Structure 1
Amino acid sequence: MEKFHAFLVTSVFVVTLFQGATVSCLRYREGSEEWGYVQVRPKAHLFWWLYRSPHRVEHPSKPWPIILWLQGGPGSSGIGFGNFGEIGPLDINLKPRNFTWLRKADLLFVDNPVGTGYSYVEDPNLYAKTDEEAITDLTTLLTELFNNDATLQKSPLFIVAESYGGKFAVPLGLSAFKAIQQGTLKLKLGGVVLGNTWISPEDFVFSWGPLLKDLSRLDDNGLQKANSIAERIKQQLEAGQFDGATDSWGELENEISASSNSVDFYNFLQDSKSDSDTLNAMELGLYREVSMMRYSKYLASKSSSLLGSEENQLDSLLNGVIKKKLKIIPENVTYVAQSIDVFENLYAEFMKPRISQVDELLALGVHVTVYSGQLDLICATKGTEAWLKKLKWAGLESFMGKERTPLYCGSDKWTKGFFKSHNNLQFYWILGAGHFVPTDQPCLALEMVGEFTHSPAPSS
């Protein structure tokens, strides 16, 4: 920690301010890092943080890529967990990460939607109420950052998402593609990458019961209860009762938790930990509150397992030394890893699918990569394979007929995963990983990044 403080003291900051009709961007530069706010709407501010890779390789036919990382939730902070917990240059101990994705690309983190992490609104009525509103904000941010930076424009942008972030990544890919075509956005779209993403909630809720029954975490009674609620969710979605479907999703999660003796939704080989607040909410039947608590507390426990300390260490880090480093976070903005307010405002959006928009991306020729951790339950591989089979993409039959290629990592010849590809669709099955693939299988995840970005290798 002392070395990190010394780094802050000796750093030099430069501020530039861009003004537009309704957009302003406050930008700080410190060596190979930049961060700032974009006012995407009056009184609505998105925070971003860009790392330029020290491993950058200049190659005439393979430009160095940029990864935009979108966290899930909705309302989970990419600046915090994605950056310090998964793929950024420093881990939660502020020590260099061996498998940082900076080895293959520059990294751009955004706390999205507004109200998440360091992003904030000056009026609670300004939270995004739909995924589309959040996408409009993200497109505004990309326009402000890329249109004002000729260096960024040279690198292909890969939109990489985890969990609910996929429901932002897919429409953002479409929005960016159209804006590029119209000449209003100056960037190169490299592709969209969906990691354990919540693309088709219906397919996931129908996967939970059968998967857990095969794993002996549910018996026939538990399976029957799970399938009954899943069928109700299907009917609600067909009737356009999206709030009710989200209520039923929370009820299903808690029924499965009770029938399985608290299986962990983010790694089904483990048990989840429940505290008194969660148990009290379950007893009162507050299903949605419990489900939101479960995700937030999993992020906290995942962070604490990496740090080997208390659950609130990520929040403490971002409200302490990191906030001091960044200098521009308003005093009244308190960082939390998961914003309940953001989730609540997108409550009716939560169960809506994005399969048709994946089809649109593929039809436009955009490269789409899907990866799935074997041990994930919430976005189980079984559910991911189910929604992939619903694609109307012309290349689907050929894709399904392809043989898988086994994947290894380094000199280790144990099978780490499988890969299949046809035209602009790629799929990675990642063995031994749960919902958070970069932390569970960091070596294979990094090699996968090099493949889908076509990142140029260092010269020997």
Structure 2
Amino acid sequence: MFKFFFTVISLIIFLSHGQVHARKGYGNYEQEWDYVTVRPNAQMFWWLHYVNPLNSSTNGNFSVYEKPLLIWLQGGPGASSTGYGNFEELGPIDLDGNQRNHTWINDYNVLFIDNPIGSGFSHAESFSAYAKTNLEIAEDLLECIRNFYYKLPEFIDVPTYITAESYGGKMAAEFALLWFKEQKEKKIESNLKGVALGDSWISPIDSVISWAPFLLNTGMIDIRGYDLIQKSIEATKLAVEQERWQEATNLWGRTENVIMEIVNNIDFYNILEKKKPNDYFDIRDELLDKLMNSDVKEALGLNVTWGEQSSRVFSILSGDFMKPAVHIVERLLNETNLEIFVFTGQLDLIVATPGTLAWVEALKWHGKKKWETSERKTVVVDNIIEGYVKEYSNFKMYWINRSGHMVPADNPSAMKQILKHLTKG
């Protein structure tokens, strides 16, 4: 994998306008990274990518601290923000080593956090160091951000937004609520402004319930397939209703397997992606693992094996996996003034749009009736309809066309509009 380098002139321009003392890590842009001991034996890793003023439409005539800070949290639980989010979706360099023209760092400072403990380069030095609940994950993240501000106090006043995908959204919601309370009580100096929940695992059972109708209506299965999948869904639903959480997670996995057998493999993250029959192996996962444990690890001077503990993270959180976080989103709407965004890709199966809409419509909050009657508007970019948006007060929902689970990668034009709306331009 080749590396890129600034010219001397470019570096002088960046430092004079950006006013930062960053390090050179992997690629031709300014970065900073560090570990935080969030609890005994629990090491959380963060990797900051400063906004690149040379690629900005403002031609570098600003300080980097004039641009918002976006925090990216990956899903799983156990997937890596520094790996998947960075190289597969929105970072400056893609997995093939090419510079990404729609990278978020063209317009924002981006902080990738490997979370929960055990994801990516974050690691646990004992079994007790792993987070067991969503609240513990949020507490770890808050401790991480405290340390981030301690190391880089210039960001304390910078408008900050948590952005997340999949299970990362479940973690982000609780993190945002906890952070807002600490900020309001002046227990942390910061400028948290909002949270964006992308294809998020907020109401797991609503997502699962949507699978059979979604597959039937898109022509992926017939009535016989629908009945077989629905039978497995009903068993999962009953386990959730009876709060048999570990069993519910097992039944969720079984339902996915039933779907895979009936359709002879499908991409749960984008139903239109081409898949080979009975091929469950993703070659790009192997490429990412190789990249992170060679060039990236060397460039950042790390001695931890990236992804080594990821599967353990999921196993430890399996009893928490199917628990909903809808009540957390309700509290965000009722108890905070944060911007709350929800966005969903129309081709996503794992967190299908009908399931997301089900829990959104059921939210209990002060603006519910006015949100329901609000006009649903088109999102148009370069005369193309990229999706739709509905909003009232501080709550916004985006439906994204031509996108699966990974909206930043699948429809970067729509994602750019979402971020512009979130950060108020």
TM-score strictly above 0.5: yes
What is the CA distance between 1:414 and its match in structure 2? 2.8
For 1:368-447, list aligned pairs within 5 A: 368-409=340-381, 411=382, 413-447=383-417
> Is the partner of 1:419 in helix, strand or coil?
strand
Q: Map 1:292-371 onto structure 2 (within 5 A).
A: 300-301=282-283, 304=284, 311-327=285-301, 329-330=302-303, 333-336=304-307, 339-363=310-334, 364-371=336-343
Corresponding residue SS for 2:319: helix
Aligned residues: 402
**What residue number does 1:175 align with?**
178
Moved more, 350-359 or 86-95: 86-95
* Matched residue SS, 1:312: helix
**Where does structure 1 lack aligned partners over 5 or more consecutive residues?**
12-26, 279-296, 305-310, 456-460
Offset at 1:170? 0.2
Q: Distance in 2 between matches of 1:5 and 1:427?
A: 39
Residue 87 of structure 1 deviates from its aligned partner by: 0.8
Choose which of 72, 89, 96 in structure 2 pairs with 1:93.
96
Q: Following the alignment from structure 1 to structure 2, what is the Cα–Cα distance between the partners of residues 259 and 162?
A: 27
Offset at residue 35 of structure 1 (A): 0.3
Structure 1 position 130, deviation (Å): 1.4
For 2:399 and 2:75, locate their aligned partners in 1 and report how far apart those are by CA, in whole Å. Answer: 20
In the alignment, which of 31, 34, 46 is matched to residue 33 of structure 1? Answer: 31
Deviation string, structure 1 residues 254-288 (Cα, Å, up to 9, x no partner): 11112222222111123545767x6xxxxxxxxxx
Q: Compared with structure 1, are the counterparts of its residues 374 and 77 closer, same or farther at alpha carbon in structure 2 (3 Å cutoff)?
A: same
User: Percent identity of the aligned residues?
Assistant: 38
Please give the alpha-carbon distance, in whole angstroms, between the structure 2 residues aligned to 1:358 and 1:45: 28
SS at match of 1:369: strand
Tell me, in whole angstroms, the C-alpha distance in 1 between the residues paired with 2:305 and 2:87: 17
CA distance in 1 between counterparts of 2:340 and 2:6 reads 42
* 3-state secondary structure, aligned to 1:420: strand
Quick one: which of 138, 144, 149 aligns to 1:146?
149
Instruction: Structure 2 unaligned segments of length 5 or more: list them.
Output: 12-20
The superposition leaves residues 136-159 of structure 1 with CA deviations (integer Å, 9 ceiling, x where unpaired) of: 111100111124433111211111
TM-score for the superposition, normalised by structure 2: 0.89
Match of 1:50 among 48, 51, 67: 48
Which whole-Å CA distance do the structure 2 matches of 1:353 and 1:335 have between them? 29
Distance 2:421 2:182 in 1: 26
Provide closer, same or farther for how the CA distance between residues 318 and 345 of structure 1 changes in structure 2, counting only shifts above 3 A: same
Deviates more, 1:260-269 or 1:188-197: 260-269
Listed one character per residue, the Cα deviations across residues 375-427 of structure 1 (whole Å, up to 9, x for unaligned) are: 00000001000010110012122112122211222x3x232111111101111
- Say yes or no: does 1:264 pair with 2:258: no
Shift of 1:3: 4.7
Q: CA contact under 8 A between 1:147 and 1:186: conserved in structure 2? A: no
Secondary structure in 2 matching 1:428:
strand
Please tell me whether the aligned partners of residues 81 and 337 of structure 1 are also in contact (alpha carbons under 8 angstroms): no
Question: What are the Cα deviations for residues 221-243 of structure 1, in whole angstroms up to 9, with x where unaligned?
Answer: 22122222222222211211000
Q: State TM-score, norm by structure 1.
A: 0.82
SS at match of 1:250: helix
- The one-letter amino acid paired with 2:69 is I
RMSD of equivalent CA atoms? 2.4
Correspondence 1:109 to 2:107: no
Q: How far does the alpha carbon of each residue in 1:288-316 deviate from its partner, in whole angstroms, 9 at most, with x for none?
A: xxxxxxxxx5xx55xx3xxxxxx511111
Distance 1:274 1:346, change over 3 A: farther
2:3, 2:178 → 1: CA distance?
42
- Cα displacement (A) at 1:367: 1.1
Counterparts of 2:377 and 2:155, CA distance in 1: 34
C-alpha deviation, 1:59, in angstroms: 8.3
8 Å Cα contact 2:73/2:112 also seen in 1: yes
In 1, distance between residues paired with 2:90 and 2:309? Answer: 18
Contact 1:84/1:91 (CA < 8 Å) preserved in 2? Answer: yes
1:131 shift after superposition = 1.5
* Equivalent runs, 1:270-289 vs 2, <5 Å: 270=273, 272-273=275-276
The 5-angstrom pairing of residues 227-242 of structure 1 reads: 227-242=230-245
Q: 1:428 to 1:334 in 2, by over 3 A?
A: same
Q: Secondary structure at the match of 1:407?
A: strand
Distance 1:249 1:146, change over 3 A: same
Give yes or no for the alignment of 1:449 onto 2:423: no
Q: CA 1:218/1:93 → structure 2, altered by over 3 Å: closer, same or farther?
A: closer
Task: Find out whether 1:4 has 2:7 as its counterpart.
Answer: no
Give 1:6 shift.
9.4
